[in-house]
Amino acid sequence: MRYINEERINNLLIDAAKFDSRKIDLVLGKAKSLQRLTLEESAVLLSVKDPVYIQKIFNAASFVKDTIYGRRVVLFAPLYISNLCVNNCLYCGFKADSVNLKRKALSPSEITQQIQWLLKRGHKRILAVCGEAAPTGQSNIDYYVQAVKTIYAATAGKHRIKRVNVNCAPLSVSDFRKLKASGIGTFQIFQETYHDQTYRSMHPSGPKSDADNRISAPDRAFAAGIDDIGIGPLYGLYDWRFETLGLLSHIEHMEKEFKVGPHTISVPRIEPAEGAELSFNPPHKISDEDFKKVVAVLRLSVPYTGIIMSTRESAVMRDALLSLGVSQVSAESSTSPGGYSDNRKANAGSQFSLGDNRTIEEVVASLISRDYIPSFCAACYRMDRTGEAFMQLAKPGTIKGKCSMNALITLKEYLDDFASASVKEAGYKMISRYFKQLEPADQERLKLFFAHVDSGLRDEYV
């Protein structure tokens, strides 16, 4: 598999196996200065087993996350527009030979219905998730572009979706250009596993069986002008330490070739999926404690990137991971096409089972109770703070001020328009508390934004 040197990764893990407290302290000191870690340094942290030093890793990850992004946590919802697929990934509920799966590709009117349901709940950011097949008579790219445009066009009163990110199959450079022209934010694609032999065994047929075509998809997206890319492995297919170093090797390639690393990293674990026997007994299941360590080490290794946690994980796990580096979470998710407005039939034709079924308001309330600012912001995409421009703000932590300000504006919008009385009370107290921490000039600026929200204006940002 291109960009991945398996021998190097295995040797790094062997070398890092011996506990060296001095080396660990040096790596943590470097990480807390917001510097990128090398593969060797990341391997050192991944190999730590001592509980005292694991806690030091956790503390450092919390420090780095708060230093760069502050207390804001971005919320989004996935929209599965199709479960049509021609691949046979052994772990996936959408695989082509799942004969009992109810197949569905949403029409424009059905997509609009789904988005209106989500808008009425308060969602403003969407991740469109696409199977690797299009409805009869359409190409993949034409279906994807039509879906993105339909999502942006949908309204519910004064509410619209601010940003559509897309998770789809690898495309050609010309098709990526069409996707960019539709107005997407981040293009997201998961390699699933960075171990070549495992990749081939887990993807026996279909276009996805070509590992090199998949791992080079971000390169083609960059070439097409998409400069915000999301990547990640699927934990459970192979050894979690190897997968993490494989991911970091992929990031090294991106930084070397394009001067930009991933905008986001996702860290999904395999969850049970009907029709995919392997998903019920993953070959390399990762424990909860090791999973926490992965998130913390990724935060320290790639401090500038957003880390996404989906509703695959339980509410307890998701809440715990917020302090270890997670900066974006999905809420009130369905993994089946039509699963929102159709009486929430989330298990009909779903990709995998969910661990967190809380409503968006319950997630908002939980974040507030833990002193995290729920954010529905999409300002960076509107202000051209993407790609290298975003990295220049994120790496030194100067993005935090903009993130915090926009989080407070969007939280007030949510509270005014959607929240129950108890959540309103808690949220307004949070806004007041953070308002008092701002510099006088920022307080005056925020007062003006809040006055605009009170007058009915929406979607203002800095």
For residue 169, the domain's CATH number is 3.20.20.70
C-alpha of 55 from chain center: 25
Domain boundary pick from 394, 423, 442: 394
For residue 242, tell me if it sits in a domain. yes
For residue 6, tell me if it sits in a domain. no
How many domains, the chain? 2
- For residues 166-193, average pLDDT: 97
Same domain, 147 and 247: yes
Could you read off the pLDDT of 99-108 as tens digits, one per residue?
Answer: 888 899 999 9
For residue 1, tell me if it sits in a domain. no
CA–CA gap between residue 369 and residue 347 (Å, rounded): 30
Backbone angles phi and psi of 261, in degrees to 5: -90, -170
Is the distance from CB of 261 to CB of 218 less than 8 angstroms? Answer: no
Return all residues near 59 (Cβ < 8 A) that are at least 6 apart: none
Same domain, 260 and 189: yes
Rounded to two decimals, the pTM is 0.94
3-state secondary structure of 135: coil
Same domain, 324 and 405: no
Same domain, 306 and 411: no
CA–CA gap between residue 336 and residue 32 (Å, rounded): 41
**Residue 90, amino acid:** L
Could you read off the pLDDT of 321-377 as tens digits, one per residue?
Answer: 999 999 999 999 998 999 997 654 445 566 777 899 999 999 999 999 999 999 998
Is the distance from CB of 57 to CB of 48 less than 8 angstroms? Answer: yes
The residues pairing with 375 across neighbouring beta strands, listed in sequence order, are 74
For residue 443, tell me if it sits in a domain. yes
Distances (CA, A) of 72 to 97, 291, 411, 434: 42, 22, 10, 11
Same domain, 218 and 256: yes
Same domain, 276 and 153: yes
For residue 34, tell me if it sits in a domain. no
- For residues 308-325, average pLDDT: 96
For residue 436, tell me if it sits in a domain. yes
Alpha helix (H) residue ranges in 101-194: 108-121, 140-153, 173-181
The set of long-range contacts for 381-386, using a CB threshold of 8 Å and a minimum separation of 24, is 381/163, 381/185, 381/228, 382/461, 383/461, 386/185, 386/227, 386/228, 386/263
- For residues 145-164, average pLDDT: 97
CA–CA gap between residue 122 and residue 376 (Å, rounded): 9
**Residue 335, amino acid:** T
Same domain, 146 and 198: yes
Same domain, 381 and 405: no
Same domain, 114 and 204: yes
CA–CA gap between residue 253 and residue 239 (Å, rounded): 21
- Strands in 5-114 per DSSP E: 72-80
Report the pLDDT value the prediction gives residue 274, as an integer from 0 to 100. Answer: 87
Same domain, 237 and 125: yes
Domain boundary pick from 346, 378, 394: 394
The closest of 353, 351, 354, 269 to 84, measured between CA atoms, is 351
User: Pairing relation of β-strands 72-80 and 373-375?
Assistant: parallel
Report the pLDDT value the prediction gives residue 462, as an integer from 0 to 100. Answer: 82
Structure tokens at 128: 């469109």
**Residue 40, amino acid:** E
DSSP secondary-structure letter at 38? Answer: P
For residue 4, tell me if it sits in a domain. no
Same domain, 291 and 352: yes
CA–CA gap between residue 402 and residue 380 (Å, rounded): 9
Question: Domain span at residue 435?
Answer: 399-454
For residue 23, tell me if it sits in a domain. no
21-30, 306-315, 348-357: segment of lowest average pLDDT? 348-357
Same domain, 299 and 443: no
65-79, 89-103, 241-255: segment of lowest average pLDDT? 89-103
Distances (CA, A) of 233 to 237, 239, 245, 287, 333: 9, 11, 10, 16, 20
